[in-house]
Amino acid sequence: MQYDLIINGAGPAGLMAAAGAADAGLRVLLLEKFEDISIVRRACCQQFVMDENYEHENIELEPGRIVFPSNGFEVAYAGPLHPITETRFVSASGRTVRFRYADGRPVAVKFDKGRLLAGLLERCLRSGVEYRSGTLATAAVDHGDHVYVHGVHDGRAVKFTAAKLLAADGVNSRTLASLGMNAQRTHFATALCIIYALEGVTGFDPAVMQWHMGMAYGSYAPVILDPSLHGGVADLVVMGSEQQRPEQIFEAFTRTGPAAGRFASARVTGRTACTVKAYTSLPVPWRGNVLAIGDAAAYVEVEVQGALMCGYHAARAVADELLGQGGFERYAAWWRKSFEFNSPEALRVAQGYALVPTYTDEEIDYLFALLEGSPLDGAYGQYKAPRLLWDAIARHSAKIAAGRPGLLEKFSRNAQMTLADTFAHAQKGYV
């Protein structure tokens, strides 16, 4: 058998796992479909989320390194950083809910993902990882005592053999699909995303991220105006579907929506795109000789810092598994504990970001007006902000009951919605 471990995907999870496994003395083959991973081709916001205890970790950004104190490792990074100090939810009429830390520390920090990946790849090569770029893994077969990975390189079929396989090929994992590991997962929707890089946006604050929520903005999903790594350039994140194309949402948002005036002189300087299949997460992310890590096993995404943690723990899991010490099961226990999408709280998250079309623009205006005068705690990630939002709204229940009893009843009905219901409502444009 040629390898102890094959890893499909040289993203942050795959690279971190490859380096750790090689450092542990394993023979590692790392496969990557792109030739140059330092060029980020897919839509990716590229930030470290600084929410407190995000993914059970509070990362520390120090000169030349990213420290994960709870998980017990660090990653070299000497590239540029750009802090974001506030998140805002903005309704159709401009009512605004603010999330920020009282001491002004960042809620997120932008970074250069391509530079981070290039540094991790250098570490892998120094550790003895065999790296094959430009290789598309098309299928995997688990034979019980070994794994085959089939692929294509330079137009020719290739096949590799190893004792273990890590599927680190992202949210649209070919590896898991070929092995049938997605069969028990619920597929909610397929989202189309485009991130437009814009210069000349009027009133753009490079320290603030804004979520625009309301059908007046032309989208069922929030349209996000996000600072890029380069402070003067804004990233407009547009999420759509086959029925509601992101290009159409972009045109409506920038030309006729409530925020259109800010884009009268804006110029598109670049764009990236991706297609994302939203599945339920894999609570048991392994089967036989195969372990799924990072976005491949997630409900949508784990963010870069989560992917690095997955890679770190996966390397240790493989080494233990090869010794018959139950490494995959221990990884699964860590996985279930560390990521919030594995808990029932994920429903509140979905409902928080699915205010549209579950609530009308007028209802969102009303709710945001209740919270407008008092900033909430710092939040950037997709889990903390909805919790804070709904908890703050609940503190106004008496006022809502007196003035808008029908809205309070709507809260109760929507609390019974499943995650699948939330997606179904968004796809139908239900209000």
What gap in Å lies between CA 132 and CA 119, rounded to an integer?
A: 17
Question: What six digits make up the tokens of 141?
Answer: 């077969």
Tokens 């470290």 -> residue = 48
Q: What percent of the chain stands above pLDDT 70?
A: 93
What gap in Å lies between CA 89 and CA 372, rounded to an integer?
A: 10
CATH architecture of 3-46+112-185+280-341: 3-Layer(bba) Sandwich (3.50)
Residue 153 burial (10 A CB sphere; 0-12, 13-18, 19+):
middle
- For CA atoms 403, 407, 409, 415, the dihedral sign is negative
* pLDDT tens, residue by residue, 265-309: 999 999 999 999 889 899 999 999 999 999 999 998 999 999 999
- pLDDT band at residue 421, thresholds of 50, 70 and 90? low
**How large is the C-alpha radius of gyration of the chain?**
22
Question: What six digits make up the tokens of 94?
Answer: 């401009």
**CB-based contact 191:275 (threshold 8 Å):** yes
Tokens 């444009």 -> residue = 429
89 vs 419, more confident: 89
- pLDDT band at residue 427, thresholds of 50, 70 and 90? low
What's CA 325's distance to the chain center, in Å?
31
177 vs 353, more confident: 177
**CB-based contact 313:334 (threshold 8 Å):** yes
* pLDDT tens, residue by residue, 96-114: 999 999 999 999 999 999 9
Q: State how far the alpha carbon of 248 is from the alpha carbons of 41, 238, 316, in Å.
A: 22, 10, 46
Domain extents in the chain: 3-46+112-185+280-341, 83-109+191-278, 346-428
What gap in Å lies between CA 162 and CA 7, rounded to an integer?
A: 10
Q: Is the pLDDT of residue 425 over 80?
A: no
Residue 430: predicted pLDDT: 37
* pLDDT tens, residue by residue, 306-343: 999 999 999 999 999 999 999 999 999 999 999 998 98
Instruction: Choose among 3, 2, 1, 5: nearest CA to 311.
Output: 5
CATH architecture of 83-109+191-278: 2-Layer Sandwich (3.30)
**CB-based contact 138:178 (threshold 8 Å):** yes
How confident is the model over 205-209, as a mean pLDDT?
96
* pLDDT tens, residue by residue, 22-73: 999 999 999 999 999 999 988 887 999 999 999 999 999 999 999 999 999 9
Specify the long-range contacts of residues 147-154, CB closer than 8 Å, at least 24 apart: 147/6, 147/289, 147/290, 149/6, 149/8, 149/31, 149/175, 151/31
- pLDDT band at residue 431, thresholds of 50, 70 and 90? very low
- pLDDT band at residue 84, thresholds of 50, 70 and 90? very high
Give the global pTM.
0.94
Q: Which of 72-81, 96-105, 207-216, 350-359 has the lowest mean pLDDT?
A: 350-359
